[in-house]
Amino acid sequence: MAPPIKLKRPPTNAAQTMTTSSQEARRLARETIRISANIASAPAVQTLEFPNVRLGMVEAEFLDSSLTLICCEEIDGRRWKYLAESRGSGKIKKGSIRAVSLQTPQAPIDELMTFIRSYVVPEGFPDSVTPSYVPYMSWRALKHFFGGAIGVFTTQTLLSSVGIARNKAAPGAVAINWILKDGAGRVGKMLFARQGKKFDYDLKQLRFAGDILMELGAGVELATAAVPHLFLPLACAANVAKNVAAVTSTSTRTPIYKAFAKGENIGDVTAKGECVSNIADLLGTGLSLMISKRNPSLFSTFAFLSCGYVFSSYKEVRSLVLHTLNRARFTVAVETFIKTGQVPSLEEGNMKETILSFPWLKDRPVVLGPRFKDAFQEPAPYFSLEPLFEKEKYVVTYNPEKGKVYALLKDQAKSDDILKAAFHGHLLLHLIRSANNNRCHPGKHYENDSSDSMDTSVGAQAQVVKSCKMVSTAYGLFKSKAAEQGWVMSESLLNPGRARLHC
């Protein structure tokens, strides 16, 4: 008979716990050694570059026995690690990816600055915009700050004058007056919008003139407080002025922001620029509300705020650097080239440009694209000059009676022909003025004899012949030097007249 089988009794709970703990400790020790060896022998990080995102990838790196590093990520200077839970067989558990930040939390002030930058500067700043962006936006913000402050006082004055505050008018009359005021402004806006291309030709001049007109309208609105019975005509006139200024601001905004953008980020530059303007406007409005509670002198407060607005507007426009050649910048470039043989840089040319002028009122010494009857009073001078310009798309002459140079354009004239005609006109004007100055030099005996004066047709035609010889070589040199300085020569904004010669 077989002996009975003896079964081992299972260990007690205490013994079992000690055995399990001992095995777990040995397993953890082995795992720690293995992890250290894996980290030491981990392959080099492979880096993939993307816009604003950088991923560093490793084949296998274990942080502990259950987590595997998938990749590292960086966005705008902030870094994360992506980990996933792994199974014993080396497989990744589904839905176990987690992100771990690799930097300490930012200070509250840094978080605030990051938030503000995302609203007020374009992405990639400062590399995404031109250097003139910062001074322009600084002065623009200050201008809108003063504008927002002025708006509080003008609105209060208008409401008081129309009868809202003093209960001097029936509600229906008040509504009608207000609607007529706004309607007059809209009509003025539509009429002024027909200027069209002039906003491109003289952008800075019109922008500054529009801001002055805006302040003039605000002043007229404040005047309604002194003569409330004239509210409707004064308010209509003020609203027309302010709406015309608004058309100018809107029409010149896109070309200005386009000059700042590097690449295809004009939308971002425009959005951030308008955000800065709105923030400054709100700050100015808030400050003005606090000031208005103390009942300050209306005239003194308006004078101070208006001066600040106009000064900021002037500095705003002055800080703008444009690459195109309008009449003012072209005159600076050509005159500098004639005197020194060099073309001014973009910054220098824009700095010397005349801002405080009204393009439609300025008496230009060189008239581009005039009517034939303005340039010639007799047919003989034209017939004598026509052979000189047979191969050109323009004709340049000097009218001694008016003291101006006229550059008439032919119907085949293109952009480069218009640019050359303007260059020729300025060169001819320089030659005539130099000749007159030499003959009128105090060290020389000069008699006011019309036959010897350079203001005769014969003398003027002699200078035209001389200028034609100089232009043949000087114009090409001017273009090449201007292009080297960064001026855009493929298109010009010289605003020629619409008259063309058909020969």
What is the structure's pLDDT at 249?
A: 86
Question: What is the DSSP-derived secondary structure letter of residue 264?
Answer: S
CATH superfamily of 119-318: MFS general substrate transporter like domains (1.20.1250.20)
Percentage with pLDDT > 90 across the chain = 27
Q: How far apart are CA 88 and CA 96, in angstroms?
A: 15
Largest Cα–Cα distance in the chain?
161
Q: Dihedrals φ, ψ of 401, to 5°?
A: -70, -35
Q: Average of pLDDT values for 445-449?
A: 41
**pLDDT tier at 99, thresholds 50, 70, 90:** confident
**pLDDT tier at 51, thresholds 50, 70, 90:** very low
Highest averaged pLDDT of the listed ranges 15-29, 143-157, 373-387, 408-422: 408-422
What is the structure's pLDDT at 75?
A: 67
Percentage with pLDDT > 70 across the chain = 72
Range of lowest pLDDT (21-30, 70-79, 244-253, 291-300): 21-30
> To the nearest 10°, the Cα dihedral for 421, 424, 425, 428?
-160
Q: How far apart are CA 137 and CA 206, in angstroms?
A: 18
What is the structure's pLDDT at 116?
A: 76
Instruction: Write out the H or E segment, with its range, that includes residue 127.
Output: none
State the chain's mean pLDDT as an integer: 77
What is the structure's pLDDT at 168?
A: 53
Q: How far apart are CA 146 and CA 141, in angstroms?
A: 9
Question: What is the DSSP track for 364-411?
Answer: -SEEES--HHHH-SSHHHHHHHGGGGTTSSEEEEEETTTTEEEEEEBT
**pLDDT tier at 459, thresholds 50, 70, 90:** confident
In three state form, how does the secondary structure of 300-349 look?
HHHHHHHHHHHHHHHHHHHCCCCCCCEHHHHHHHHHHHHHHCCCCCHHHH
User: Do residues 81 and 232 lie in contact, with contact meaning Cβ atoms separated by under 8 Å?
Assistant: no
Say yes or no to pLDDT of 350 above 70.
Answer: yes
Residue with tokens 């405080």: 356
Say yes or no to pLDDT of 426 above 90.
Answer: yes
SS3 135: helix
**pLDDT tier at 195, thresholds 50, 70, 90:** low
Q: How far apart are CA 82 and CA 423, in angstroms?
A: 65
What is the structure's pLDDT at 503?
A: 66
Residue type, 15: A
**pLDDT tier at 170, thresholds 50, 70, 90:** low
Q: Which pair of tokens denotes residue 273?
A: 């620029």
pLDDT digits (tens, 9 = 90+) for 123-153: 778 788 888 888 998 999 999 899 888 888 8
Question: What is the DSSP-derived secondary structure letter of residue 501?
Answer: B
**pLDDT tier at 68, thresholds 50, 70, 90:** confident
What is the structure's pLDDT at 29?
A: 55
Say yes or no to pLDDT of 451 above 50.
Answer: no
Closest of 72, 40, 81 to residue 53, by C-alpha: 72
Say yes or no to pLDDT of 48 above 60.
Answer: no
User: Do residues 355 and 332 lie in contact, with contact meaning Cβ atoms separated by under 8 Å?
Assistant: no
**pLDDT tier at 334, thresholds 50, 70, 90:** very high
The residue that leads in pLDDT, 15 or 30, is 30
Q: How far apart are CA 326 and CA 333, in angstroms?
A: 10
> To the nearest 10°, the Cα dihedral for 58, 60, 62, 65?
160
What is the structure's pLDDT at 26?
A: 60
What is the structure's pLDDT at 76?
A: 59
Q: How far apart are CA 222 and CA 214, in angstroms?
A: 13
Q: Which residues pair with 74 in a beta bridge?
A: 54, 79
Strands 53-57 and 404-409: unpaired
pLDDT digits (tens, 9 = 90+) for 228-266: 888 888 888 888 888 888 888 888 888 888 888 887 888
In three state form, how does the secondary structure of 139-166 look?
HHHHHHHHHHHHHHHHHHHHHHHHCCCC
User: Do residues 475 and 423 lie in contact, with contact meaning Cβ atoms separated by under 8 Å?
Assistant: yes
pLDDT digits (tens, 9 = 90+) for 276-285: 999 999 999 9
Q: Which pair of tokens denotes residue 407?
A: 């550059």
> To the nearest 10°, the Cα dihedral for 121, 125, 131, 133?
-10
What is the structure's pLDDT at 471?
A: 93
Range of lowest pLDDT (17-26, 88-97, 425-434): 17-26
- In 10 A of CB 416, how many CB atoms? 15
pLDDT digits (tens, 9 = 90+) for 462-492: 889 999 999 989 999 999 999 999 998 877 7
Residues 6+ apart with CB under 8 A from 7: none
Q: How far apart are CA 35 and CA 67, in angstroms?
A: 11
The residue that leads in pLDDT, 407 or 39, is 407
Question: What is the DSSP track for 91-147?
Answer: PBPTT--EEEE-SPPPPHHHHHHHHHHHHHS-TTTTTTB-TTHHHHHHHHHHHHHHH
What is the structure's pLDDT at 54?
A: 41
Highest averaged pLDDT of the listed ranges 3-12, 44-53, 114-123: 114-123
Say yes or no to pLDDT of 312 above 90.
Answer: yes
The residue that leads in pLDDT, 194 or 56, is 194
Q: Which pair of tokens denotes residue 432?
A: 């005539």
Question: What is the DSSP-derived secondary structure letter of residue 99?
Answer: E
| Domain spans of the chain, in order of start | 36-102, 119-318, 327-439+454-484
Q: Dihedrals φ, ψ of 80, to 5°?
A: -140, 155
Q: Average of pLDDT values for 291-311?
A: 89
Q: Average of pLDDT values for 406-432?
A: 93
Q: Average of pLDDT values for 61-83?
A: 67
Q: Average of pLDDT values for 419-441?
A: 86
Q: Average of pLDDT values for 60-69?
A: 56
What is the structure's pLDDT at 201?
A: 84
Say yes or no to pLDDT of 216 above 90.
Answer: yes
Q: Which pair of tokens denotes residue 60?
A: 């296998």
